[in-house]
Structure 1
Amino acid sequence: MQTHQELAAHSAPDWPAIVAVVLGVTAFSVAQGVTYPLISLVLEGRGVSSTMIGINAVGFALGLAAATLMLGQLTQRFRAQHLIIAGLVGCSLCLAAFATFSSIAVWFVARFLLGFCASLIFMLSEAWLNVACPDRLRGRISGIYGAAICAGFAAGPLAIPLFGTAGGFGFALTAVYLALVAFATALLMVSTRTVPEPSSTRDLFAFFRHAPMLVAMVFAFGFADIAAISSMPVYFVKTGHSEAFAALSVTVLALPTALAQPLIGYALDRLPRHSVAVGTAFVAALSYLAIPFIETPALILAAFAMIGAASFSLYTCALTMLGENFRGGMLVAGSAAYSLTYAVGSGAGSSLTGAIMEIGGPQAGPLSVGAALSVFTAAFVLGKRR
Structure 2
Amino acid sequence: MRWATYFAVLSSVLSVGLALGVSMPLVSLRLESWGYGSFAIGVMAAMPAFGVLLGAKVSSRLAAHLGTANLMRLCLWAGAISIGLLAVLPSYPVWLALRLMIGVILTIVFVLGESWINQLVVEQWRGRLVALYGCSYALSQLSGPLLLGVLGTGNDLGFWVGAGLLIVSPVLLLGRSGAPTAEAFSVTFGDLLRFCRGLPAIAWAVALFAAFEAMILTLLPVYCLRQGFTAEIALAMVSTVVVGDALLQLPIGALADYLPRRSLFLTCAVLLLASSLAIPLLLDTLLIWPVWVLFGASAGGLFTLSLILIGERYRDDALVRANAHIAQLWGIGCLVGPLVAGAGSQWISGHALPLLMAAGALGLVILLLRQGAFGAVQPA
TM category (shorter chain) comes to 0.7 to 0.9
1:308-323 alignment, distance < 5 Å: 308-323=296-311
Aligned to 1:140: 128
**Paired residue type of 1:288:** S
Q: 1:22 aligns with which of 10, 13, 17?
A: 10
Pair 1:216-2:204 in alignment = yes
Aligned to 1:88: 76
2: CA distance, partners of 1:294 / 1:96: 39
Using the size of structure 2 for normalisation, the TM-score is: 0.81
Contact 2:268 2:302 in 1 (8 A): yes
Provide Cα deviations, 1:199-241, integer angstroms capped at 9, x if missing partner.
6225753433432221122123234555666666677677x76
Pair 1:35-2:20 in alignment = no
Structure number with higher helix proportion: 1
**Paired residue type of 1:335:** N
Provide Cα deviations, 1:67-102, integer angstroms capped at 9, x if missing partner.
122123212312111111111122223344445566
Name stretches of at least 5 consecutive residues in structure 2 with no aligned partner.
Answer: 376-380
2: CA distance, partners of 1:200 / 1:153: 32
Contact 2:269 2:361 in 1 (8 A): yes
Contact 1:29 1:149 in 2 (8 A): yes
2: CA distance, partners of 1:166 / 1:365: 26
Contact 2:76 2:109 in 1 (8 A): yes
Deviates more, 1:242-251 or 1:263-272: 242-251
Aligned to 1:276: 264
2: CA distance, partners of 1:52 / 1:340: 23
2: CA distance, partners of 1:151 / 1:219: 21
1:146-165 alignment, distance < 5 Å: 146-164=134-152
Using the size of structure 1 for normalisation, the TM-score is: 0.80
1:1-386 alignment, distance < 5 Å: 13-39=1-27, 60-98=48-86, 110-164=98-152, 168-187=156-175, 189=176, 192-198=177-183, 200-202=185-187, 204-205=191-192, 206-226=194-214, 242-243=229-230, 246-294=234-282, 297-353=285-341, 361=349, 366=354, 369-384=357-372
Contact 1:228 1:308 in 2 (8 A): no
**Paired residue type of 2:308:** T
Contact 2:201 2:364 in 1 (8 A): no
Deviates more, 1:57-66 or 1:172-181: 57-66
**Helix, strand or coil: the match of 2:287?**
helix
Higher RCO structure (Cα 8 Å, ≥6 apart): 2
**Helix, strand or coil: the match of 1:16?**
helix
**Paired residue type of 1:24:** S
Q: Aligned in 2, Cα 1:93/1:276: closer, same or farther, shift over 3 Å?
A: same
Shift of 1:290: 3.6
Shift of 1:362: 5.4
**Paired residue type of 1:137:** W
Shift of 1:166: 6.9
Q: Aligned in 2, Cα 1:199/1:19: closer, same or farther, shift over 3 Å?
A: farther
2: CA distance, partners of 1:115 / 1:90: 11
Contact 1:124 1:196 in 2 (8 A): no
Provide Cα deviations, 1:337-376, integer angstroms capped at 9, x if missing partner.
2122123224433444555667775577645643441331
Q: Aligned in 2, Cα 1:274/1:196: closer, same or farther, shift over 3 Å?
A: farther
1: CA distance, partners of 2:44 / 2:267: 39
Who wins on radius of gyration, i.e. which is larger? Answer: 1
Q: Aligned in 2, Cα 1:58/1:353: closer, same or farther, shift over 3 Å?
A: closer
Name stretches of at least 5 consecutive residues in structure 1 with no aligned partner.
Answer: 1-12
**Paired residue type of 2:256:** L
Provide Cα deviations, 1:30-71, integer angstroms capped at 9, x if missing partner.
2222332334556777x6977998877666444333212212
**Paired residue type of 1:273:** R
Q: Aligned in 2, Cα 1:68/1:139: closer, same or farther, shift over 3 Å?
A: same
Contact 1:17 1:128 in 2 (8 A): no
State the identity %.
25
Shift of 1:273: 1.0
**Paired residue type of 1:143:** A
Provide Cα deviations, 1:163-215, integer angstroms capped at 9, x if missing partner.
4467754433433322221112215x1xx334343362257534334322211
Q: Cα RMSD (Å) of the superposition?
A: 3.6
2: CA distance, partners of 1:106 / 1:295: 35
1: CA distance, partners of 2:352 / 2:47: 32
1: CA distance, partners of 2:283 / 2:44: 39
Shift of 1:260: 1.0
